[in-house]
Structure 1
Amino acid sequence: MNTRYMKKMISMALLIAAMTMPATAQQNVPTAVIDSTDVDALYAQNLLKPGEKAPNFSLPDYQGKKYNLYQDTKTYKVIEFWASWCPDCRRDLPKMNEIVNTYRTPHFYGISFDTNSAAWQKCYSETFKGGNIVELCELKKWKESQVSKDYHISWLPTYYILTPDNKVEFATVSIDKLAQKLEELKSKMNE
């Protein structure tokens, strides 16, 4: 078999393989990971660890009011990193709304990586009904945001629970694991 023919066949095979691969909202994610039921095992391993001091941030809400994480020192905090364009985030938003309405003790912060203000606000207003969540967004791309780098975000959505003194209590990419951990911490948060 001649080399030219072989190169042509390999190129065709690669092209066909690339065209049949499923698209995902996450960047650079192997297909095997997307099909897995526990992406947390892969993507939560690089998040900030329990006991580490959470980096401070000062981010605006949709009206331009800035919120500083370190100003909030009286209670636990839950931070949700998400975006309206992310299918996994959209899937989890109704459950996040339930969590926000169930646990009144921690302060909830949603940090969006949307670049379109109208899309972000529309998604937020359609999802969060009666909940007490502060929605923040710099209108910067996920990979360009300093808060994304500071919190080691490599998957959306990502969730953190912080203690009143802003140390990491828990980090996950699973809404179910977040809900389970909040239930475990319920009595501790109400002290």
Structure 2
Amino acid sequence: MNNTLIIRIAIFLASLICMTSCTIGSEDNNEYGKGMLEEGTIAPDFMIYTDSVPEGFALSSLRGQYVLIEFWASWCPDCQKETENMKQMYAAYAPKGVVFVGVSFDTDKEEWQQYISDNGLNWIQFSELKPWKESSISTAYNVRWIPTLYLIDKDGRVVLGTVSVSEMNSRLASLNLNGQ
């Protein structure tokens, strides 16, 4: 085998090992899902840039509506497992006025956009195209695991922060959402 092939295989295997866990910093399973922004906290504002709104808009401009923010990445196995559940939540709650915003920690724009296209993720999608640890949004929301989800109320306050898609679905189901 030539050296280039050996190096590529080594890089691939190292990447595979890193991608099998969607956590940052904490190896302690007792900390999983802890440290989220507390209920009632004003959601940190950030700018969202999309292909359809390249000049961007502030998260705070969505006040008056419930907003579900999903922090995720296309390379994350846990995020991939939840893709269908996220699509089902979107289908159930977007028509009732909940705005979905995906914030990805992908660094490869083509791979990120391909995942979105291949999986029909039809809600707002945004990525700084920065590694997770370099994202100011990740820091502001204390994202330590992905997927991480936050539900923001009409006043811009955190209703729920969770690493559980099913818990988020249950909370949405408990709200009186009739097209807002």
TM range (shorter): 0.7 to 0.9
Once the two structures are TM-superposed, the CA of residue 126 in structure 1 deviates from its matched residue by 1.5
Same amino acid, percent of matched pairs: 32
- Which of 93, 109, 131 is 1:141 aligned to? 131
Once the two structures are TM-superposed, the CA of residue 43 in structure 1 deviates from its matched residue by 3.1
CA RMSD of aligned residues (A): 2.0
What amino acid sits opposite 2:61 in the alignment? Q
* Structure 2 partner of 1:55: 44
Moved segments of 4+, more than 4 Å: 188-191
* Structure 1 partner of 2:31: 42
* Structure 2 partner of 1:120: 112
Once the two structures are TM-superposed, the CA of residue 29 in structure 1 deviates from its matched residue by 4.8
Deviations 1:50-96 (A, max 9, x none): 00001000032246341310111121000000001111001101110
Task: Answer yes or no: is 1:25 the counterpart of 2:21.
Answer: yes
Task: Answer yes or no: is 1:107 the counterpart of 2:103.
Answer: no
Q: SS state of the match for residue 109, structure 1?
A: strand
- Which of 125, 137, 160 is 2:150 aligned to? 160
CA distance in 1, matches of 2:155, 2:178: 13
Q: SS state of the match for residue 103, structure 1?
A: helix
Once the two structures are TM-superposed, the CA of residue 189 in structure 1 deviates from its matched residue by 6.2
What amino acid sits opposite 1:178 in the alignment? M
Q: SS state of the match for residue 115, structure 2?
A: helix
CA distance in 2, matches of 1:52, 1:25: 28
Cα 1:148–1:174, aligned 2, differ >3 Å: closer, same or farther? Answer: same
Cα 1:107–1:128, aligned 2, differ >3 Å: closer, same or farther? Answer: same
Work out whether residues 61 and 67 of structure 1, in 8 Å CA contact, stay in contact via their aligned partners in 2: no
Gaps of 5+ in 2: 1-16
Once the two structures are TM-superposed, the CA of residue 45 in structure 1 deviates from its matched residue by 2.2
Q: What TM-score comes out, normalization by structure 1 length? A: 0.76
Q: SS state of the match for residue 166, structure 1?
A: coil
Structure exhibiting the larger radius of gyration computed from Cα positions: 1
Once the two structures are TM-superposed, the CA of residue 127 in structure 1 deviates from its matched residue by 1.5
Aligned length in residues: 159
Once the two structures are TM-superposed, the CA of residue 42 in structure 1 deviates from its matched residue by 3.0
